[in-house]
Amino acid sequence: MPELPEVETVRRGLEPVMNGRVIVRAAVNRPDLRFPLPERMAERLSGARVTGLRRRSKYLLVDISTGETLLIHLGMSGRLLISGTMLGEFHHEHPAPAKHDHVVFDMDSGARITFNDARRFGMMDLLPTGSDHTHPLLANIGPEPFGNAFHEDYLVARLSGRAVPAKVALLDQRVVAGLGNIYVCETLHRAGIDPRRQMRRISAHRVAGLVPVIRDVLREAIEAGGSSLRDYRQTDGELGYFQHAFRVYDREGAPCRTEGCRGIVTRIVQSGRSTFFCPRCQR
C-alpha cells in the first residue's frame, strides 16, 4: 500500500501536467473500484480546470474550477500514469488502452493521465472543495508529519503512557498522517526503539526524539521517489528507489546496518503485519 512518500511523489509528478490545465475529457470505464464511483463523474470532471493538487495522508486531492475536489486513493496496485507529454528528456506517446485502465483524463495540453488498477482496491470520490476535513475517510486523520501541528510536545502528549506497542502506536493514522508499515519499521530502527515495547515504557525524551527521525525518513524517501515494492510506480512509470536504503524492512536474516551492531534483522507479526527490526540494537 503506497504510503506518504509514494503519494507525495505521485502528486509532484502530476503537478506540472495537471495544475492550471483543463480536463478536456474524462472517461470512466467502470462503475466502481473499491467503492462505487461518483454519479456522473465523467460529466462533472470534463471541461473543468484543475486549480490545485494536494495530499492529505495517503490521499491525493485534485481541486477543480467547479468547486469540487477529486479525492483519490491508489489502493494496493493503483497507478496514475502520464503519457503524451514531455517527461524529463523523453516524450511518452499515448499507449494502447490496457485492461485495467479504469479512469482516463485527457488534458488540454495533450497530456493523458490514466488510472490503472489491476486489483481495484483504489478509490475516487468527488466532494465540495474545502470539505475534506469532514469526509469520512479524512475526518479523523492526525497532523501531517511536516506540518507545524506535529511536534515533540504533541507526540509526547498523544503517546506517552499508552499501553500499546510502539509499532502499533505509530501506525495509527489518528496520531500522525501517512505513516505505514515500511516507514514505521525504518523510523523505529533509526530511533533504536523496539517495536514491541509499550509506549508507557518509553521515556518522553525518546518519544519526542521520534519527530525528527520520522521527518528524516520520509524526506529521504520522497527524494528517492518512494519505495517500489510489487506494484508501485511513479507517474512516468519509473520505480522508486528508497527500498535500496532500507535498514530493516524486508531484510529478514540480513545483518543490521547500524554501525558497530552485529545483530540480525528479525521479522515478527504485529496486528497482522510484518515487523522488521534488530533485537540487538533496538531496545
Catalytic residue set: 2-3, 58, 273
Question: SS3 for 114?
Answer: strand
Q: Is the C-alpha dihedral spanning 127, 23, 27, 84 positive or negative? A: negative
| Residues with Cβ within 8 Å of residue 43, at least 6 apart in sequence | none
Query: Rounded to whole angstroms, how far apart are CA atoms 33 and 115?
Result: 11
Check if the beta carbon of residue 127 is closer than 8 Å to that of residue 68.
yes
What per-residue string of b and e applies to 54-91 under the rule 16 or more CB within 10 Å gives b?
ebbbbbbbbbbeeebbbbbbbbbbbbbbbbbbebeeee
Question: Do residues 164 and 102 touch, judged by C-beta distance below 8 A?
Answer: no
- Number of neighbouring beta carbons within 10 Å of residue 147: 11
Cβ atoms of 271 and 195 closer than 8 Å: no
Q: Quote the cell numbers at residue 64.
A: 477543480
- Please report where in the chains the cell 501517512 appears, as a residue: 178
Cα–Cα distance, 195 to 182 (Å, whole number): 13
- CA separation for the pair 216, 182 (Å, rounded): 14
- Strand (E) or helix (H) holding 69: strand 68-73
Q: What is the CA radius of gyration of the chain?
A: 20
